[in-house]
Amino acid sequence: MTSTVTLENSHSIYDQLSASLSQIRSAYSKDPDTSYDTRISRLKRLHTALLEYKDRLITAVNQDFSNRASAETMMAEILPVLEGIRYNKKHLRKWMRQSTRHTPMMLLGAKTKVHYQPLGVIGIVVPWNFPIFLGLSPLVGAFAAGNRAMIKTSEFAPQTGLVLEEMLNKHFAAEEVMVVNGGVEVASEFTRLAFDHIVFTGSTQVGRIVMRAAAENLTPVTLELGGKSPAIIHDSFPIEEAAKRIAFGKGLNAGQVCVSPDYILVPKNKVAAFARAFTEQFSTHYPTLRDNPDYTAIITERQRDRLLDNLNDAREKGATVEVINPANENFDGTRKLPMHLVTETTSDMRVMQEEIFGPILPIIGYDSLEDAIHYVNDRDRPLALYYFDWDNRRGEKILRQTHSGGVCINEVMTHTMVDDMPFGGVGPSGMGHYHGKEGFLNFSKAKGVVIKGKLDANSLIGAPWNNKYFNFFVNFQLRRFKKF
Ligand code: NAD
C-alpha cells in the first residue's frame, strides 16, 4: 500500500499534489456510494493502527516538543481519537439512514426525504499543538461520512508527521487517505487544491489565507481557529477552587492549547488571592519544571521567543509579571518556559491583544459581572468561555449574553472531549462544526429528494392557470393561511 506524496523537485508541488488528489477522487468516483461496511472497516483499521502505533506516536510527539508529557499525549490525543471512533461506530447506521421529511400540500401525492451522501475527498490541515488528534479526529468524521482524505501535517511536528504517514500507509490504501508532509509552501499549495471540503485547524491569520485559497474553487471550509478564551470567576465562587480547576487546564501542554484559558476575569479585590491560589496549585502539579517530564516544553525556539517578547512588552508597558518557578531553576538551553502571571495589564499590551498560546496568564480585575460580560463582548468572539459560579441562573445569563465556540461552567476545556456535542468556533475563532453527529453532517451532503407518485396534481392545476382546480387550490391554501 502506498499513501505518501513524495514531493520531487522535477514537478511543481501543486502538480504533484493535484495528481494525488485526482488519484483519490477517481477511486471515489468509481465507488461514490460508500457502504456502511466500508466506513466501519476504515474506522476499525484506524482503531487498530492507533493501538499499534500509540507508543511510537507518543515518542514522536515527545521528540517534536523536545519534551511532551506522555500522559498528555495519551489523554489529549490518543484516547479522544479512540473515543471518537467508538462513538461514530455506535451511531453511524442511524446517522446514515435517509430521513423522511414533511411534504407540503403544494406537492400533494409526493414523498420527501433527505439523503446523506459523502462529499468526496476532504483536505485536512493540521497544526503542531495536537498533531495526532487534530489530524485523526477530522479523519474519523470524514471516514464516517464515507469520504476519503488527504492530510497535511504540521512542519513543526515533523517526527509525528512521519509516524502518521507510516501508520496510515500500512493500514490504508493510497486511494483512501494520503499523508502530505512538508513546509508552508506545501501547505499553501495543498489548500489551493479543489477538495470537496477543507478542514483547517490553525491560527485565525492563516485561516483567512486558507479561506481565500478555497474560495477560488468554491471549496467549503471548516475553520477551527484560535482566539482569547476568557475565564470569568463570580465573586461568590471559592477562589481556591477556581484556581485549582483552572491550573489543571492551563498547565496542560504548557498552555499551548486552542481552548486554554487565555485570561482570567476576577472581582478586583480577588486578583492577588487568585494569583496566590493559582501559584500554589500549579506548584503542586509541577514542583520542578526544567527536567520534569510532566511539564511540556515550548514547541520551537521561535515560539518561546515570541512568548518572552510578549512578556517584555507587558513589563515595558507597566504590567507586573510573576514567574511561577517552584524550584527556582534556570531554563537556559531548554525550550521549557515556566508559568507567568501578569497583572496590571492594559489593552495595548500584546498579551491582551494576541492569543497567548503558552504559559502566560493575565489576571484582570472587574467591578461587576456586567463589566466582565461587557469586557468579553467588546472583543473578538472567543473559541471557549469559562464561567465559575454555583448559581445556575447566572450561568444561563452568561450563556445567553456572550458568544463563544463552546462553554464550560465551573470547568475548563473538557467540552472538547464530548463527542455528543458539536465543536467549533464563531466569528474570528472559526466556522463550522465537527465531532459526533455534527461531524457526520459537516462531511456529508444533505441532499433533499422529492419522489412523485402516480398522482400528478400538476396535470390538473397547471397552465392555463385560470382553471377551476387551480382556483380551488389557491382558495383552499389562502384559507389555511388566514391565521398566523
Ligand atoms: P498555523 O496557522 O501557523 O498553521 C496551521 C497549519 O497551517 C500548518 O499545517 C501549516 O503548515 C499550515 N499553513 C501555514 N501557512 C499556510 C498558508 N499560507 N496556507 C495554507 N496553510 C498554511 O497554526 P499553528 O501555529 O500550527 O497552531 C496554532 C494555532 O492553531 C493557534 O491559533 C490555535 O488556537 C489554533 N488551534 C485551533 C484549534 C481548534 O480546534 N480550534 C486546535 C488547535 C490549535
- CATH code assigned at 403: 3.40.309.10
Do 145 and 249 share a domain, yes or no?
A: no
If one residue of 64, 125, 353, 421 were mutated to test the ligand 1 pocket, choosing by the most ligand atoms within 8 A of its CB, it would be 125
Residue minimizing CA distance to atom 42 of ligand 1: 258
pLDDT in tens, the chain (484 residues): 444 555 655 469 999 999 999 999 999 999 999 999 999 999 999 999 999 999 999 999 999 999 999 999 999 999 999 999 999 999 999 999 999 999 998 898 899 999 999 999 999 999 999 999 999 999 999 999 999 999 999 999 999 999 999 999 999 999 999 999 999 999 999 999 999 999 999 999 999 999 999 999 999 999 999 999 999 999 999 999 999 999 999 999 999 999 999 999 999 999 999 999 999 999 999 999 999 999 999 999 999 999 999 999 999 999 999 999 999 999 999 999 999 999 999 999 999 999 999 999 999 999 999 999 999 999 999 999 999 999 999 999 999 999 999 999 999 999 999 999 999 999 999 999 999 999 999 999 999 999 999 888 788 888 889 899 999 999 999 999 999 9
Do 96 and 202 share a domain, yes or no?
A: yes
Taking Cα atoms as reference points, which of 393, 347, 346 lies closest to residue 369?
393
Instruction: Residue 73: count other Cβ atoms within 10 Å of its Cβ.
Output: 26
Contact (CB, 8 A) for 335 and 359: no
Q: Is residue 237 part of a domain?
A: yes
Do 374 and 332 share a domain, yes or no?
A: yes
Give the DSSP per-residue string, 14-76: HHHHHHHHHHHHHHHHHS-S--HHHHHHHHHHHHHHHHHHHHHHHHHHHHHHS---HHHHIII
- The domain tally of the chain equals 2
User: d(Cα 236, Cα 257) in Å, to the nearest integer?
Assistant: 28
The boundaries of the domain holding residue 31 are 4-225+434-445
Is 104 strand, coil or helix? Answer: coil
Closest atom, ligand 1, to C-alpha of 155: 11
Closest atom, ligand 1, to C-alpha of 126: 9
Do 301 and 398 share a domain, yes or no?
A: yes
If one residue of 206, 385, 421 were mutated to test the ligand 1 pocket, choosing by the most ligand atoms within 8 A of its CB, it would be 206
* 88 ligand 1 Cβ < 6 A: no
Q: Is residue 156 part of a domain?
A: yes
* pLDDT score, position 460: 84
Provide the grid cell at 6. Answer: 513524495
Do 189 and 251 share a domain, yes or no?
A: no
Provide the grid cell at 80. Answer: 479522544
Residue minimizing CA distance to atom 21 of ligand 1: 187
Do 210 and 296 share a domain, yes or no?
A: no
Q: Is residue 150 part of a domain?
A: yes
User: d(Cα 28, Cα 359) in Å, to the nearest integer?
Assistant: 44
Cα of 226 to ligand 1 centre, how many Å?
9
Boundary of a domain, candidates 371, 393, 424: 424
- CATH code assigned at 200: 3.40.605.10
User: d(Cα 279, Cα 217) in Å, to the nearest integer?
Assistant: 50
Residue minimizing CA distance to atom 1 of ligand 1: 202
Taking Cα atoms as reference points, which of 159, 161, 93, 163 lies closest to residue 126?
161
Q: Is residue 175 part of a domain?
A: yes
Residue minimizing CA distance to atom 6 of ligand 1: 127
Taking Cα atoms as reference points, which of 263, 425, 269, 283 lies closest to residue 352?
263
Boundary of a domain, candidates 391, 424, 457: 424
If one residue of 65, 126, 129, 423 were mutated to test the ligand 1 pocket, choosing by the most ligand atoms within 8 A of its CB, it would be 129
Do 290 and 338 share a domain, yes or no?
A: yes
If one residue of 17, 199, 201 were mutated to test the ligand 1 pocket, choosing by the most ligand atoms within 8 A of its CB, it would be 201
* 355 ligand 1 Cβ < 6 A: yes
Cα of 236 to ligand 1 centre, how many Å?
38
Closest atom, ligand 1, to C-alpha of 206: 2
Closest atom, ligand 1, to C-alpha of 127: 26
User: d(Cα 177, Cα 81) in Å, to the nearest integer?
Assistant: 17
* 358 ligand 1 Cβ < 6 A: no
Q: Is residue 402 part of a domain?
A: yes
Do 406 and 439 share a domain, yes or no?
A: no
* 187 ligand 1 Cβ < 6 A: yes
Do 75 and 153 share a domain, yes or no?
A: yes
Do 211 and 335 share a domain, yes or no?
A: no
Cα of 452 to ligand 1 centre, how many Å?
48
H-helix or E-strand spanning residue 232? strand 230-233
Q: Is residue 378 part of a domain?
A: yes
Closest atom, ligand 1, to C-alpha of 190: 20
Q: Is residue 484 part of a domain?
A: no
Contact (CB, 8 A) for 89 and 42: no
* pLDDT score, position 1: 42
Buried b / exposed e across 229-238, counting CB within 10 Å, b at 16+? bbbbbbeebe
* 298 ligand 1 Cβ < 6 A: no
Q: Is residue 457 part of a domain?
A: no
* 430 ligand 1 Cβ < 6 A: yes
* pLDDT score, position 9: 56
Cα of 72 to ligand 1 centre, how many Å?
20
Do 161 and 268 share a domain, yes or no?
A: no
Taking Cα atoms as reference points, which of 336, 317, 314 lies closest to residue 325?
336
Judging by beta carbons within 10 Å of its beta carbon (0-12, 13-18, 19+), is residue 72 exposed, middle or buried?
Answer: buried
* pLDDT score, position 461: 85
Rounded to two decimals, what is the model's pTM? 0.95
Do 276 and 330 share a domain, yes or no?
A: yes
Judging by beta carbons within 10 Å of its beta carbon (0-12, 13-18, 19+), is residue 146 exposed, middle or buried?
Answer: buried
* 209 ligand 1 Cβ < 6 A: yes
